[in-house]
Structure 1
Amino acid sequence: MRALQFREPIDTERLALRLQTDADIDAVYSWQSRADVCRYLLYEPRDRKTVAARLAEDSRRTRLEANGDYLQLAVERRADGRVIGQMYFTVDNAEYSTLEIGWVFHPDVAGQGYAAEAARALLALGFETMGAHRILASLTPENTASVRLCLRLGMREEAHFVEDMFIKGRWEDTGVYAILDREWSANRG
């Protein structure tokens, strides 16, 4: 798998996926502070100071090469410049050319196809630019919107781990969905 130094935004029909900046604080805080959004995430709702610290840390991460390297990208709606979500890409296993994808969007834009559009752009980056063999998503199976998105993207459920993570004071299941490069190529044709 080829390393990636992320510099230029990825433009889709309606979106720009770009590195986050300090100027994104209001937008990111608008969903990271909400209990209904954080319900399916690994963290509790965040205060503004924590969001600012995470933005500062994430904005320094621009390279995907070694295990654990990640990008946290802002998803900006091109029509009005509003940041409506975040996309996450991490090197899960460099030796086996495996990446992990994730997303979070403001509830106000749910059901408009933005998550699918952004995820397809990131899958294309992983498979077509980086040469990944496999891209996976790990999520709680209770997050039915993300499960449906994985299936819409051509991913299949590969595993359902029962109570494998202790998060926010309770045991949670994890669902793993994935797609291979050859499946991505076949679906794109």
Structure 2
Amino acid sequence: MRVLEFREPIGTERLLLRLQTDADLDAVYSWQSRADVCQYLLYEPRDRETVAARLARDAAHTRLESNGDYLQLAVERRTDSRMIGQMYFTVDNAEYSTLEIGWVFHPDVEGQGYAAEAARALLALGFETMGAHRIIASLTPENTASVRLCLRLGMREEAHFIQDMFIKGRWEDTGVYAMLDREWSARRS
């Protein structure tokens, strides 16, 4: 798998995926502080200071090469330059050319296809630019919107682990969805 140094934003028809900046604090806080958004995430609603610290830390990550390297990208709507969500992309296993994708969007833009559009852009980056063999998404199976998105993208369910993570004081299940490079190529032809 090829190394990626993320420098230039990725443009889609309606979106711009770019590195986050300190100027994104209000937008990120607007959803990371909400219980309804955080119910399917690994963390509880965050206060403004925690979001600011996390934003600064994430902005420093620009390279995908080794296990655990990640990008946390801002998803900006082109029509009004509003940051509406975040896309997560990480090296799950460099030796086996496996990446992981994730997303979170403000509830105000739900159902408008932005998450699918942004995810397709990152799938293309992973498979076509980096030469990934496999891209996975790990999620809470109760998050039916994310499950539907995985299926819409052409990912297939590979696993449903029962109570494999202890988060927020309770045991949670994990669903794993995946796509192989040959499946991506078949969808593109």
The corresponding residue for 2:97 is 97
Under a length normalisation based on structure 2, what TM-score does the superposition of the two structures give? 1.00
Superposition map of 1:39-188 within 5 A: 39-188=39-188
Under a length normalisation based on structure 1, what TM-score does the superposition of the two structures give? 1.00
Matched to 1:188, the amino acid is R
Say which SS state the counterpart of residue 55 (structure 2) adopts: helix
Matched to 2:186, the amino acid is A
Say which SS state the counterpart of residue 73 (structure 1) adopts: strand
Distance 1:41 1:49 in 2: 18
Matched to 1:144, the amino acid is T
Say which SS state the counterpart of residue 163 (structure 2) adopts: strand
Structure 1 unaligned runs (5+)? none
Distance 2:168 2:42 in 1: 8
Count of residues paired in the alignment: 189
Say which SS state the counterpart of residue 179 (structure 1) adopts: strand
Say which SS state the counterpart of residue 2 (structure 2) adopts: coil
Say which SS state the counterpart of residue 81 (structure 1) adopts: coil
Matched to 1:17, the amino acid is L
The corresponding residue for 1:20 is 20
Matched to 1:10, the amino acid is I
Matched to 1:129, the amino acid is T
Measured after TM superposition, the shift of residue 32 of structure 1 is: 0.1
Q: Deviations over 1:59-100 (max 9, x none)?
A: 000000000000000000000000000000000000000000
Q: Deviations over 1:29-64 (max 9, x none)?
A: 000000000000000000000000001000000000
Matched to 1:137, the amino acid is A
Distance 1:140 1:88 in 2: 16
Measured after TM superposition, the shift of residue 188 of structure 1 is: 1.0
After superposing on structure 2, the runs of 4+ consecutive aligned residues of structure 1 that deviate more than 3 Å are none
Say which SS state the counterpart of residue 116 (structure 1) adopts: helix
Structure 2 unaligned runs (5+)? none
Measured on the aligned residues, the alpha-carbon RMSD in Å equals: 0.3
Say which SS state the counterpart of residue 104 (structure 1) adopts: strand
The corresponding residue for 1:32 is 32
Matched to 2:118, the amino acid is A
Matched to 2:180, the amino acid is L
